[in-house]
A and B are shown apart, each in its own frame.
Chain A
Amino acid sequence: GQNIDQPTEMTATEGAIVQINCTYQTSGFNGLFWYQQHAGEAPTFLSYNVLDGLEEKGRFSSFLSRSKGYSYLLLKELQMKDSASYLCAVRDLSLNKFYFGSGTKLNVKP
C-alpha cells in the first residue's frame, strides 16, 4: 500500500522561506510530485522529482531522497498568494497509480 505523510498546517511570514516535508512508503516508486491547490480549485503542478537531488524552478524547489523516502518543497520569497494547500503525490508505476498525501495548508501572514 501507500503511506504518504505531510504536516497538516504551517504558517510563515511574507518574504520568508518555508520548507514543507513529505515522507512516503510505496511499493513501486516512480516519481514524486508537488501540487498547489487553492480552496475549491483543481491542483496545479509545481514540480517533479524522480532522481535524488534538488530541482529548482524559480521561487520553488523540490528535493528528493529515495533511500530515505523523503522529499521537501521549498518556497522562497513567500507571497500572500502562496497561501494554499500543498500536496505531495507519489506515482507507483507498478500499479499505474498516483497517490496523494493529506496536504499541508500553508498560511502566509503579512
Chain B
Amino acid sequence: GAVVSQHPSRVICKSGTSVKIECRSLDFQATTMFWYRQFPKQSLMLMATSNEGSKATYEQGVEKDKFLINHASLTLSTLTVTSAHPEDSSFYICSAAVGYYGYTFGSGTRLTVV
C-alpha cells in the first residue's frame, strides 16, 4: 500500500533555531500533502496544504513565514519551523492523498523546543 515516510520521528532543538521535517511518498506520487499539528490530548489541526510546484496554502492563524513549506517534487514535501520557540513544541504529521478517497499519514515528528 501507499506509504509516507516522515523524518525525523523525534527532534529536540534550542529556542531560536530552525528544524526541517521531511515527508516522502515512497511508492506513489503525491501532488498534494497536508501538514497537521497536534497538541497533547487534542485533535489534528490542519496547518497548510502543500501543492507540488506551487505555493502552499495556509490555514487562518498559521504564520507562513514561520512554517515554511516546500513541495519541490512529487515525492517530497518539507516543513521548516523557523526560529522555534517552546510553544512550537508539538506533534507534527503529514498526510498525502492517495487516489480519489484514500489518505495515508506519515509517522509523525515529535518536536521539543528547549
Decide: A42 and B105 in contact? CB cutoff 8 A: yes
Decide: A97 and B49 in contact? CB cutoff 8 A: yes
Which partner residue on chain B sits nearest A91 by CB separation? B101
Chain A interface residue count: which class? 20 to 34
Decide: A102 and B43 in contact? CB cutoff 8 A: yes
Residues of B within 8 A of A33 (CB): 103
**Secondary structure call for the B interface:** strand
Decide: B32 and A42 in contact? CB cutoff 8 A: no
Which partner residue on chain A sits nearest B104 by CB separation? A45
Count residues on chain B whose CB falls below 8 Å from chain A CBs. 22
Which partner residue on chain B sits nearest A35 by CB separation? B105
Q: 1/0 contact trace for B22-35 toward A, CB 8 Å?
A: 00000000001010
Given contacts A42-B108, A102-B43, A103-B43, contact A96 B49 (CB under 8 A): yes
Given contacts A87-B44, A97-B34, contact A31 B108 (CB under 8 A): no
Decide: B49 and A42 in contact? CB cutoff 8 A: no
Given contacts A48-B101, A96-B32, contact A40 B46 (CB under 8 A): no
Decide if A50 is an interface residue (CB 8 Å cutoff): yes
Decide: B108 and A41 in contact? CB cutoff 8 A: yes
CA distance A51 to B85 in the complex (A): 44
Residues of A within 8 A of B45 (CB): 100
Residues in A lying within 8 Å of B, measured CB to CB:
31, 33, 40-45, 48, 50, 85, 87, 91, 96-103
A-B contact pairs, 7 of them (CB 8 A): A41-B108, A43-B105, A98-B95, A100-B36, A100-B45, A102-B43, A103-B43
